[in-house]
């Protein structure tokens, strides 16, 4: 029997990357809500490698176990299936609150749930932070600026959001999330950090979330026409996920408690972005123009003066490098899905 147990143990022993060893004084217990999602799973990797204890809470609406499966079984890692709209009682030192659908297609799928997650869910995380004395970082968004009249957008700009439009569930949800954070900071002395995240891309992003990076890469890889909504003169600025993760970790560690823009200030018109992706993929897709989408912000580019000064942070990964890695990921995912369809 002993031998059999040894055999079984041998066959189930997982090999993990070598994480840093931290003693009990420096090691933190860190909760990441939405940690099975795109950004959250990269943050998990970073904090695990730094030697912390990481607890992921996710309801798997848009996240996947696959994004964090390489840590399952590691003694510093825990994955909890839980919806943050319901209270959560655990003991932690820091909370990265990322749970919320992020792509327009996902957040518009169930707008009421999106609002609940960003309001009731955020109250629960702030209530938890208050009870255990944890510092909490809220993942806000450039969407709090709406369709901006000020360009590029500094943190001092109050925004231009339609409160009843199709994006309102997300934009207003995140605005309330920010208001809640500062109300808890003022009234309950909770330590809050607020990251206003601009468009982010990279491996593990959703293939079918209808966003511009995923749509254009898939279309180019399949040699299908690239669909531009409206005239394509609208702009976005794209940051690679590893740059964002560095910014989030620096913000959590800093003494600066006001909102901070985290994004890449290099701005592209959507039609130029389409050409860039087509050229990198190397196919011969042509561009087609369809109707503009409702309330589509026309310009978006972060002013990152605050992040530079307060966090000594700025993006490092060029669009070219980041897109190559992302295209490679999509290519592998396509092969994987065609392989599993054949089986």
Residues contributing to the site for ligand UDP (CB under 6 A): 87-89, 104, 123-124, 127-128, 130-131, 199, 211-212, 215, 227-229, 234, 236, 270, 293, 296
Token readout for 275 is 């050409």
210 and 154 in contact (C-beta within 8 Å)? no
Bridge partners, 290 (sequence order): 229
Q: Phi and psi dihedrals of 143, rounded to 5?
A: -65, -15
Least distance CB 16 / ligand UDP (angstroms)? 30
Say how far apart CA 251 and CA 181 lie, in whole Å: 15
What SS3 class is residue 121? helix
* 274 CB burial (10 A radius; 0-12, 13-18, 19+): buried
- The residue sitting closest to ligand UDP, measured at its beta carbon, is 127
- Choosing from 145, 170, 201, 240, the catalytic residue is 170
Task: Find the distance separating the first CA and the last CA of the chain, reported in whole Å.
Answer: 37
Catalytic residue status for 170: yes
Q: CB 236 → ligand NAD: shortest distance, Å?
A: 10
- Our finding on whether 34 is near ligand NAD (CB under 6 A) is yes
Contacts with ligand NAD in 35-54 (CB under 6 A)? 36-40
Residue with tokens 């005239």: 231
> Can residue 168 be called a binding residue for ligand NAD (CB under 6 A)?
no
Which option in ligand NAD, ligand UDP, none does residue 296 bind, with CB closer than 5 to 8 A by kind? ligand UDP
> Quick one: 33 or 285, whose CB is closer to ligand NAD?
33
| Residue 189 falls in which region: left (phi positive, over 0), alpha (psi -120 to 50) or beta | left
Contact between 242 and ligand NAD per CB under 6 A: no
Residue 55 contact, options ligand UDP, ligand NAD, none, Cβ 5-8 Å cut-off depending on partner type: none
Binding residues for ligand NAD (CB under 6 A) = 33-34, 36-40, 58-63, 83-85, 98-102, 117, 121, 139, 141, 197, 199-200
Q: Which residues belong to the active site?
A: 170
């Amino acid at each position: 029997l002993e031998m059999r147990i040894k055999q079984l143990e041998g066959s189930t022993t997982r090999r993990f990357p070598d994480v840093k060893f931290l003693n009990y004084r420096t090691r933190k217990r860190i909760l990441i809500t939405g940690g099975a999602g795109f950004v959250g799973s990269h943050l998990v990797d970073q904090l695990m490698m730094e030697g912390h204890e990481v607890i992921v809470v996710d309801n798997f609406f848009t996240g996947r176990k696959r994004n964090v499966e390489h840590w399952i079984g590691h003694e510093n890692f825990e994955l909890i299936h839980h919806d943050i709209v319901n209270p959560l009682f655990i003991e932690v030192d820091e909370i990265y609150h990322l749970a919320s659908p992020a792509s327009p297609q996902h957040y518009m799928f169930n707008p009421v749930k999106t609002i609940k997650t960003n309001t009731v869910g955020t109250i629960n995380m702030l209530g938890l932070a208050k009870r255990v004395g944890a510092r909490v970082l809220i993942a806000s968004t450039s969407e709090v600026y709406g369709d901006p009249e000020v360009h590029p957008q500094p943190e001092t700009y109050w925004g231009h959001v339609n409160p009843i439009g199709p994006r309102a569930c997300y934009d207003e949800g995140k605005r309330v999330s920010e208001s809640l954070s500062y109300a808890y900071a003022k009234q309950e002395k909770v330590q809050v950090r607020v990251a206003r995240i601009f468009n982010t891309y990279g491996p593990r992003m959703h293939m079918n979330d209808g966003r511009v990076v995923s749509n254009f890469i898939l279309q180019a890889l399949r040699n299908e026409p690239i669909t531009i909504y409206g005239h394509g003169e609208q702009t976005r600025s794209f940051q690679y996920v590893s740059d964002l993760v560095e910014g989030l970790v620096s913000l959590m560690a800093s003494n600066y408690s006001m909102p901070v823009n985290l994004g890449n200030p290099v701005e592209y018109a959507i039609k130029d972005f389409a050409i860039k992706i087509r050229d990198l993929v190397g196919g011969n897709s042509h561009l087609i123009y369809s109707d503009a989408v409702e309330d589509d912000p026309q310009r978006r580019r972060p002013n990152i003066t605050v992040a530079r000064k307060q966090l000594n942070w700025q993006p490092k990964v060029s669009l070219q490098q980041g897109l190559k890695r992302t295209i490679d990921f999509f290519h592998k995912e396509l092969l994987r899905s065609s392989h599993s369809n054949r089986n």
